[in-house]
């Protein structure tokens, strides 16, 4: 079974939702048969690379709330994250473009390190004092190396604006086609969708239902045709 997760590194509920989903998956009896694929989704796709601002400024301008309300929301998110064993800085975080991070995640996917890099990017964005937005490509290269990727290869990806850009845009178009207007958005075997950072028990029910309702293969043609198996291949008889 395949689970696809659309998310953005700048999305705090994606950070929390990933932890809740993984808690459910860890207890799922068929977890070794579940493939998890991370898909790209930018909350702020038009933002320029150098356009960085404090999170509180973003929240007050985008949602029309007071700074006190915005800070209360951050404090609540910090509590939600802590409940899942995650570190979360409720003061002093910033916000910027995540497009290069998504490109790097597709590069990491090709090398089997996507989930590890995503975990590291989340931690860097939400828990560490150093910004993932203001230090340029070298900060992302440093995090890519921590995820087990080659520094020069990661640096080359970031230096080429076209590298993996099409994959990012394709993920975002597909999210729109599936009706995803926000993230995190979980799609199980292209049969069930779960929106938002749901409690772990919701993910448990979704996994169980999707697994139980997988469609068995329907044979086409005769089942007596020649084939190879563990005991060898059928030999035609005259």
pLDDT per position as a tens digit, 91-113 = 999 999 999 999 999 999 999 99
Please answer whether residues 196 and 80 qualify as being in contact, where contact means their C-beta atoms are separated by less than 8 angstroms: no
Name the band, by pLDDT with cuts 50, 70 and 90, for residue 11: very high
Count of residues for the chain? 238
* Alpha-carbon span 117 to 123, nearest angstrom: 10
Please answer whether residues 185 and 6 qualify as being in contact, where contact means their C-beta atoms are separated by less than 8 angstroms: yes
* Alpha-carbon span 57 to 145, nearest angstrom: 32
Read off the DSSP letter of residue 41: -
Residue 161 has pLDDT above 80, yes or no: yes
As to burial, measured by CB atoms within 10 angstroms (0-12 exposed, 13-18 middle, 19+ buried), residue 201 is exposed
Q: Where are the beta strands (DSSP E) in the chain?
A: 2-7, 35-40, 53-54, 94-95, 185-188, 192-195, 228-229, 232-233
pLDDT tens, position by position, 50-102: 999 999 999 999 999 999 999 999 999 999 999 999 999 999 999 999 999 99
Integer CA distances (angstroms), 1 to 162, 191, 228, in order = 32, 11, 26
């Amino acid at each position: 079974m395949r689970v696809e997760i659309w998310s953005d590194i700048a999305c705090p509920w994606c950070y929390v939702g990933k932890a809740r989903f993984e808690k459910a998956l860890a207890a799922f009896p068929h977890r070794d048969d579940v493939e998890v694929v991370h898909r790209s989704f930018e909350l702020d796709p038009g933002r320029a690379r150098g356009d960085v601002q404090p999170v509180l400024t973003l929240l007050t301008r985008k949602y029309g709330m007071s700074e006190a309300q915005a800070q209360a929301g951050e404090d609540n998110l910090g509590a939600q994250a802590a409940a899942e064993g995650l570190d979360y800085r409720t003061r002093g975080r910033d916000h910027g473009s995540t497009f290069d991070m998504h490109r790097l995640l597709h590069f990491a996917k090709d090398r089997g390190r996507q989930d590890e890099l995503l975990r590291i990017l989340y931690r860097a964005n939400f828990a560490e004092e150093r910004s993932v937005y203001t230090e340029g490509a070298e900060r992302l290269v440093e995090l890519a190396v921590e995820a087990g990727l080659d520094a020069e290869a990661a640096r080359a990806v970031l230096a080429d604006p076209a590298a993996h850009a099409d994959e990012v845009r394709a993920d975002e178009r597909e999210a729109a086609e599936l009706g995803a207007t926000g993230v995190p958005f979980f799609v199980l075997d292209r049969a069930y969708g779960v929106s938002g950072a749901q409690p772990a028990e919701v993910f448990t029910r979704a996994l169980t239902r999707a697994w139980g309702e997988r469609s068995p293969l329907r044979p086409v043609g005769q089942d007596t045709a020649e084939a190879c198996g563990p005991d060898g291949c059928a030999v035609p008889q005259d």
